């Protein structure tokens, strides 16, 4: 297994020295090891050049050799079912709450914290990804996965019993932290559960869980909300997560190559970059809080909002400086971020991911407020989106595996998503069924076909020693994009809604408008006010669609900076995690 250099871009073929803490996952360590290795350059990776160490191709292991150590038959099937359940739960938590949000706003009386229901989950889910990647490198994979399940279950329970909006937000944050570990862990376990020949197929199966969750989320959320209570959107995680944990505990037997890297406990903890994680969380919290307060509960020029925005900038500078100072211990190593395939796909992930999550959260608000349907019917009306996303996710892996071309698929998906968001902007109170179905099919196919491409590129072009960290970086930016975009969308939605209502419904108290849940507007306001309120809602939603369109458009532009060369095989081809 090739090792990675602590320095940036060594391509000279000269000996590279490793300390006892810098070996890749599964590597044997001594206090000071010198190996003759050529670290692939960015140019090599973009071109799909394979490097070697000692005459053995990097990342290529004999199938016969691998078959002796990897699970197979019934054991492999059982493990894969458990991992699919874990991925399904983390993805379901991103989609199931969308159709429940209007009812939650009714119970907790207000729209002002809608963005936090999603942002709190995305904040900890994405912010913890790089640290979870290192935890799976330095600690036993099975134990780390079980800890992640426990945290996810605790967060889900807190959400289910939450007596207030603030308690729900805390639960979402805990669940997001655990969910980040589940997502990273499932992909890591798959990498150590099959030969390189089977790995692409297994990755495709686990990836399809995102599509399945997209289908089931709105329907389950609507059914629970209308027939039982929205709290079952979170209770459902408890038995499924428990089964997944039990299977992994009882059946998972990993090969020797999956053993943790050797290091002192102090070094392992330092590798998790706790200061970086805290700064990252502070960055997201200060940004989200400023946008939640600004123009809603406080004026934009208030000392609190200005202080939060200044804090956001200051923490951002401190976070960047700290990551540079940390070097290889950083949660986002600069050595990797400087590589084109990493920074391009990170920017792509944060923009495309942000636009996608915005649609998942605000399309149900359009259906339930503007078109006046219940949560279950809203879930049914979301089916064109979720079915298209599912089919596109399955197709994208096949297309890239067959052709080896990934960036054209990204560009195509971004173009469709951009056009769709522009069409969403045109929707009003009388938009026909045919139009909103057609818009969803087009946009969802675009988001679905492109969303997982960054991970495919990383799996194919990243040296084994950096694979878990690189994957975690991409997931980090995809999910943090959702957190930042949801906060911006919520701020734009509420501010524009209040501004427009001053003209369309001047008799409506802005505080009452903000405090009224999306499904209660026809109850809270009189017949002569409701049309003006609906027009205000539409104006707010148009700001959301404008943000969505802009982000999808930027994701399209980023593909121009990517390498359009054919990647040498399908996802994970020739790569050992």
Burial code (b: 16+ CB inside 10 Å, e: under 16) for 177-188 equals bbbbbbbbbbbb
pLDDT, position 315? 94
Q: In the block, which residue shows the tokens 């990517």?
A: 562
384 Cβ neighbours under 8 A, 6+ residues apart:
437, 440, 441, 444
Residue 10 confidence (pLDDT) above 60: no
Binned at pLDDT 50, 70 and 90, residue 184 comes out as: confident
Binned at pLDDT 50, 70 and 90, residue 8 comes out as: very low
pLDDT, position 197? 56
Mean pLDDT to the nearest integer, 126-138 = 83
pLDDT, position 6? 39
More confident residue, 51 or 205: 205
Residue 57 confidence (pLDDT) above 80: no
Do residues 296 and 112 touch, judged by C-beta distance below 8 A?
A: yes
More confident residue, 453 or 155: 155
Mean pLDDT to the nearest integer, 518-532 = 84
DSSP H or E run through 168: helix 165-191
Of 255, 326, 353, 285, residue with least CA distance to 127 = 285
Mean pLDDT to the nearest integer, 456-484 = 77
Spatial distance between the Cα atoms of 170 and 388, rounded to a whole number of angstroms: 32
DSSP H or E run through 16: strand 16-19
pTM attached to this predicted model: 0.73
The 8-class DSSP code of residue 84 comes to H
What's the mean pLDDT when you consider all of the chain? 79
More confident residue, 439 or 126: 439
Torsion of Cα atoms, 357 then 392 then 74 then 246, to 10°: 10
Residue 16 confidence (pLDDT) above 90: no
Residue 542 confidence (pLDDT) above 90: yes
Q: In the block, which residue shows the tokens 């871009």?
A: 9
pLDDT, position 179? 92
Percent of the chain whose predicted confidence (pLDDT) is above 70? 83
Provide the sign of the torsion angle of the four alpha carbons 98, 100, 102, 105, taken in this order: negative
More confident residue, 14 or 233: 233
Spatial distance between the Cα atoms of 324 and 349, rounded to a whole number of angstroms: 22
Percent of the chain whose predicted confidence (pLDDT) is above 90? 24
pLDDT, position 107? 81
Q: Which of 86-90, 190-194, 429-433, 546-550 has the lowest mean pLDDT?
A: 190-194
Q: In the block, which residue shows the tokens 């999956």?
A: 258
Region class of 73: left (phi > 0), else alpha (psi between -120 and 50), else beta: left
Binned at pLDDT 50, 70 and 90, residue 555 comes out as: very high
Mean pLDDT to the nearest integer, 4-27 = 37
Residue 4 confidence (pLDDT) above 60: no
pLDDT, position 312? 93
Mean pLDDT to the nearest integer, 258-265 = 80
């Amino acid at each position: 297994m090739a090792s990675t250099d602590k320095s940036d871009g060594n391509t000279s073929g000269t000996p590279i020295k490793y300390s006892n803490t810098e070996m890749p996952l599964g590597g044997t360590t001594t206090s000071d090891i010198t190996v003759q290795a050529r670290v692939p350059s960015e140019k090599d990776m973009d071109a799909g050049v394979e490097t070697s160490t000692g005459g053995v191709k990097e990342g290529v292991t004999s199938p016969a050799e691998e078959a002796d150590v990897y699970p197979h038959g019934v054991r492999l099937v059982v493990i894969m079912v458990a991992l699919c359940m874990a991925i399904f739960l983390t993805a379901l938590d991103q989609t199931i709450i969308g159709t429940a949000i209007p009812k939650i706003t009714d119970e907790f009386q207000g729209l002002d914290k809608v963005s936090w229901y999603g942002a709190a989950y995305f904040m900890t889910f994405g912010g913890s990804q790089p640290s979870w990647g290192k935890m799976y490198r330095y600690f036993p994979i099975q134990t780390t996965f079980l800890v992640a399940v426990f945290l996810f279950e605790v967060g889900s329970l807190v959400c289910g019993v939450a007596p207030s909006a603030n308690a729900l937000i805390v639960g979402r944050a805990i669940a997001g932290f655990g969910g980040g570990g589940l997502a990273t862990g499932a992909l890591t376990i798959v990498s150590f559960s099959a030969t390189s020949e089977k790995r692409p197929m297994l990755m495709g199966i686990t990836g399809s869980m995102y599509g399945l969750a997209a289908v089931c989320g709105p329907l389950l959320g609507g059914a629970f909300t209308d027939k039982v209570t929205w709290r079952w959107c979170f209770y459902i995680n408890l038995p499924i997560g428990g089964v997944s944990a039990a299977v992994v505990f009882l059946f998972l037997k990993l090969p020797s190559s999956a053993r943790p890297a050797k290091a002192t406990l102090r070094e392992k903890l330092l590798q998790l970059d706790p200061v970086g994680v805290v700064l990252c969380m502070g960055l997201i919290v200060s940004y989200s809080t400023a946008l939640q307060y600004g123009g809603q509960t406080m004026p934009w020029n208030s000392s609190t909002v200005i202080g939060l925005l200044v804090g956001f900038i200051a923490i951002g500078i401190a976070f960047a400086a700290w990551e540079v100072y940390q070097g290889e211990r950083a949660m986002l190593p600069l050595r990797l971020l400087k590589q084109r395939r990493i920074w391009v796909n990170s920017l792509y992930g944060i923009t495309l991911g942000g636009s996608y999550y915005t649609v998942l959260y605000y399309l149900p608000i359009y259906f339930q407020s503007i078109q006046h349907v219940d949560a279950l019917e809203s879930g049914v009306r979301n089916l064109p989106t979720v079915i298209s996303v599912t089919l596109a996710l399955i197709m994208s892996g096949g297309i890239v595996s067959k052709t080896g071309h990934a960036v054209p698929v990204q560009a195509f998906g971004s173009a469709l998503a951009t056009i769709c968001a522009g069409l969403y902007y045109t929707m009003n109170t009388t938009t026909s069924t045919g139009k909103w179905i057609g818009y969803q099919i087009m946009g969802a196919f675009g988001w679905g076909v492109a969303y997982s491409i960054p991970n495919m590129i990383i799996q194919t072009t990243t040296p084994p020693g950096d694979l878990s960290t690189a994957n975690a970086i991409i997931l980090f930016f995809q999910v943090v994009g959702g957190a930042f975009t949801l906060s911006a969308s919520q701020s734009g939605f509420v501010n524009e809604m209040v501004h427009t209502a001053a003209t369309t419904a001047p008799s409506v108290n802005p505080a009452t408008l903000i405090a009224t849940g999306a499904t209660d507007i026809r109850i809270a306001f009189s017949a002569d006010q409701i049309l003006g309120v609906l027009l205000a809602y539409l104006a707010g939603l148009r700001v959301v669609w404008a943000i969505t369109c802009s982000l999808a458009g930027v994701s399209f532009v980023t593909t121009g900076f990517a390498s359009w060369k054919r990647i040498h095989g399908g996802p994970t081809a020739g790569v050992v995690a």
